[in-house]
Amino acid sequence: MSERVEALPAQGTTSGPESASISWQDFLELTKPKVVAMMILTSVIGMLLATPGVPGWEVLLYGNVGIALLAGAAAVVNHVVDQKIDTVMARTRKRPVATGKISPLDALMFATVLATSGMVVLVWQVNALTAWLTLASLVGYAGVYTLFLKRMTPQNIVIGGLAGAMPPLLGWTAVTGQVEGHGLLLVLIIFAWTPPHFWALAIHRKEEYAKAGIPMLPVTHGNKYTELHILLYTLMLLAVSLLPFVTGMSGLIYLVGALVLGLRFLQYAVRLLRGDDRRVALNTFKYSITYLMALFVVLLVDHFVFF
């Protein structure tokens, strides 16, 4: 990831179909595997927190496979819908659909296979509630966010972020069969985390988004306004991240972990607001990923120490 993000923005060009043969890695790339892997981490932890013991291996396996298949399908559709804008941005122009290496039709067929098999696994092996909520997340990301919000409003990622925040709740419903407060709390944490996560990268990549005509917040309202909002969302995230402790869902290990991780995030946000530096923006984006991973791991460690 870091090499791709750090690469200096090259001149965006529209490339024609590539002659190199298509490999399975090209199809894998379309599913945004690292992002999906992080989502699965949060859904596994949602599953483990949903019950006092350890859930059965069937729900752990089938639940996560189903969620991953649908999340991967959503990412493939995103590549198809964004084909044109992906060719304009240095970060995305080498993507298999953008270069023409994989045709939009083949990509859509791939997405259909992934989504259909994901739904079959979830409906037959997990439960209908999880299947429909996961399908709704797919539509939320691939349809509502990618097709409309991304192109329409600088609040695109705030609203669209809900789809990406769903996996811990999907894990929760896979185990319990119902939507419950503590599952929703985990969604709220990722929902508050998404704006600082993405806007830091958007500051770093502002010129590219402007060139692609995508109304990301730094493009429409400038860096200072975006940095202020990163700070406000990071404060909100710190407050929301304490709710698992406040509501009795987790104990002291989590409280200490959430405070340390959250205060470090706040330090990045303040530094960004003070310095308005592209490098700090990139480091804030990278830290956001470490933060989310570590917060969920601490939640899990705390759960097994205290239950």
Ligand X SMILES: CC(C)=CCC/C(C)=C/CC/C(C)=C/COP(=O)(O)OP(=O)(O)O
Interacting residue ranges for ligand X, rule: CB under 6 A: 32, 35-36, 39, 70-71, 74-75, 78, 82, 92, 134, 137-138, 141, 146, 150, 163-164, 166-167
The answer to whether 194 contacts ligand HEM (rule: CB under 6 A) is yes
Q: Which is nearer to ligand HEM, 125 or 151 (CB)?
A: 151
Smallest distance from ligand HEM to CB 197, Å? 6
Cα–Cα distance for residue pair 38/42, rounded to 1 Å = 7
Contact between 108 and 44 under an 8 Å Cβ cutoff? The reply is: no
What's the rounded Cα separation, in Å, for the pair 167 and 302? 20
Among ligand X, ligand HEM, none, what binds residue 139 when CB lies within 5 to 8 Å by partner kind? none
Minimal CA–CA distance to 185: which of 124, 135, 283, 258? 258
**Distance (Å) of CA 41 to CA 136, 227, 274:** 20, 28, 33
DSSP class of residue 22 equals: P
What is the rounded CA–CA span in Å between residue 70 and residue 112?
9
User: Of ligand X, ligand HEM, none, which one sits near residue 82, judging by CB under 5 to 8 A according to partner kind?
Assistant: ligand X
Cβ pair 285, 268 in contact under 8 A: no
How far apart are alpha carbons 110 and 22 in whole angstroms? 13
Question: What count of residues does the chain have?
Answer: 307
Alpha helix (H) residue ranges in the chain? 2-6, 24-30, 33-49, 57-58, 64-81, 83-88, 96-99, 104-121, 128-138, 150-152, 156-165, 167-176, 181-204, 206-212, 217-241, 243-246, 252-275, 278-306
Q: Does 133 bind ligand HEM (CB under 6 A)?
A: no
Binding partner of residue 166 among ligand HEM, ligand X, none, CB cut-off 5 to 8 Å per kind: ligand X
279 binds, among ligand HEM, ligand X, none (CB under 5 to 8 A by kind): none
Question: Residue 26 Cβ, how far from ligand X at the closest point, in Å?
Answer: 16
- Per-residue string for binding with ligand HEM, 34-53, x by CB under 6 A? xx--xx--x-----------
Nearer of residues 151 and 251 to ligand HEM, judged by Cβ: 151
Considering the complex, what minimum distance in angstroms separates the CB of residue 189 from ligand X? 15
Query: For ligand HEM, which residue of 5, 22, 152, 232 counts as binding (CB under 6 A)?
Result: 5
One of 139, 289, 294, 301 touching ligand HEM (CB under 6 A)? 289
Q: What is the C-alpha radius of gyration for the chain, rounded to an integer number of angstroms?
A: 19
Q: Which partner from the list ligand HEM, ligand X, none does 162 bind, CB cut-off 5 to 8 Å by kind? A: none
Give the footprint of ligand HEM on residues 89-108 (CB under 6 A). Answer: 91
Q: Which of residues 49-88 bind ligand HEM (CB under 6 A)?
A: none
Residues that bind ligand HEM (CB under 6 A): 1, 4-5, 34-35, 38-39, 42, 91, 157, 160-161, 164-165, 190, 194, 197-198, 201, 289
